[in-house]
Chain A
Amino acid sequence: EVHLVESGGGLVQPGESLRLSCAASGFTFSSYWMSWVRQAPGKGLEWVANTKQDGSEKYYMDSVKGRFTISRDNTKNSLSLEMNSLRAEDTGVYYCARDVGPNTLDFWGQGTLVTVSS
């Protein structure tokens, strides 16, 4: 059974950093693109970033380019999102999701809440 479990969320002040992790199990992690999607409180879904199977390609939404870094460790079946220079508008639940292509997200974690507030 596919399982994705996010961790690392919390309350931070504007300008601070946070690292999210996603532990994957139940499938061959290294065979899939992986994505991060976020959802501000009471709002819709927003695609954030994704990475190719071997990590050689990474893509980001415009508003996080240069601030967020997606990475993966296929030896540990783990996906990460390093978030720097956080802003209030980055607040939301962050989901990791398996991407079966193209941009089709067939399994999602339960999400981890990031709150950016002073």
Chain B
Amino acid sequence: DIQMTQSPSSLSASVGDSVTITCRASQSISTYLNWYQQKPGKAPQLLMYLTSSLQSWVPSRFSGSGSGTDFTLTISSLQPEDFATYFCQQGYTTPGTFGQGTELEIK
């Protein structure tokens, strides 16, 4: 199975800050990388697919990049509703393994 490693595991930031979360795959996954957002007590929501394509509900302050094994999720100008846990997931092979998550907290 492909292993997905996210960093950092947690992150504190303030409203208005810009943050970047990194996801690394144990082997090349081309651009088959998804990002999910999960808020406490709620189901995850697909945020971004194929590395950089935003779901329709996602504001443009979210962006993604990368290919092969290294990927990033960047949130510019953090808003209060962005504080959540973010998971990456590879879609290259089954099982579609997830990263361990990055908890984004308000500083």
Q: Chain A interface mostly helix, strand, loop or mixed?
A: strand
Residue of A nearest to B38 (CB): A45
**B36 contacts A103, C-beta separation under 8 Å:** no
Residues of A contacting B32 in the complex (Cβ-Cβ under 8 angstroms): 102-103
Residues of B contacting A78 in the complex (Cβ-Cβ under 8 angstroms): none
Q: Please give the distance in Å from B93's CB to the nearest CB on chain A.
A: 8
**A46 contacts B98, C-beta separation under 8 Å:** yes
**A47 contacts B43, C-beta separation under 8 Å:** no
**A108 contacts B45, C-beta separation under 8 Å:** yes
Residue of B nearest to A101 (CB): B91
Number of chain B residues close to chain A: CB under 8 A = 27
Within 8 Å of chain A (Cβ to Cβ): is B72?
no
Interface code B55-94, partner A: CB below 8 Å = 1, 0 otherwise? 1000000000000000000000000000000010111111
Q: For the complex, what is the distance from the CA of A104 to the CA of B33, rounded to whole Å?
A: 9
Within 8 A of B (CB), among A84-118: 95, 101-111
What are some 13 contacts across the A-B interface (CB < 8 A)?
A37-B44, A45-B36, A45-B101, A47-B89, A102-B92, A103-B96, A104-B46, A104-B91, A105-B36, A105-B46, A105-B89, A108-B44, A111-B43
A residues adjacent to B (C-beta < 8 A): 35, 37, 44-47, 50, 59, 61-62, 95, 101-111
